[in-house]
Structure 1
Amino acid sequence: MRPPNEIVEANVRRYAATKQMPLDAVARASGISVDRLLAIFRGDFDPDLDLVGRIAEVLGVTASDLLAEPDYN
């Protein structure tokens, strides 16, 4: 199993790409800086569920979608 930050990163990047939304736009719409979003991806900052929920809402998915291990099959 991959670390949670890598799972969140993979899912955010995938859903953002699907919406053709740059990461800086995802961050801004979620109320955080792109640096904070990248810190989450690196594992330097652990987001609370409220923040995960805000990011998910921007991407049109649920928090569970962002926290689930991607299925690459």
Structure 2
Amino acid sequence: LGGHSLAALKLRQLVKARLGVDLPLQRYFECPSLAACAEVLAAEGRAQAAHAEQDGSELDRMDALLESLGA
């Protein structure tokens, strides 16, 4: 890994820790500017939040089913 790759890896870890968005490393290199990267991060954050909400709904349905079965 070169210097830019290491900086991108650090950026990825920082974004994941602070924003909770896990963006593949390659996506950082595809952004032509910081503004474009911010847009990608915002969109990915919304997508990951929607996915987590959907997972939560499925778990709620499973819990309700188990409860109705007396488990």
Q: Same fold (TM over 0.5)?
A: no
Q: Rg bigger for which structure?
A: 2
TM-score (norm 2): 0.34
Which gives a bigger RCO, structure 1 or 2 (Cα 8 Å, sep 6+)?
1
* Greater helix proportion: 2
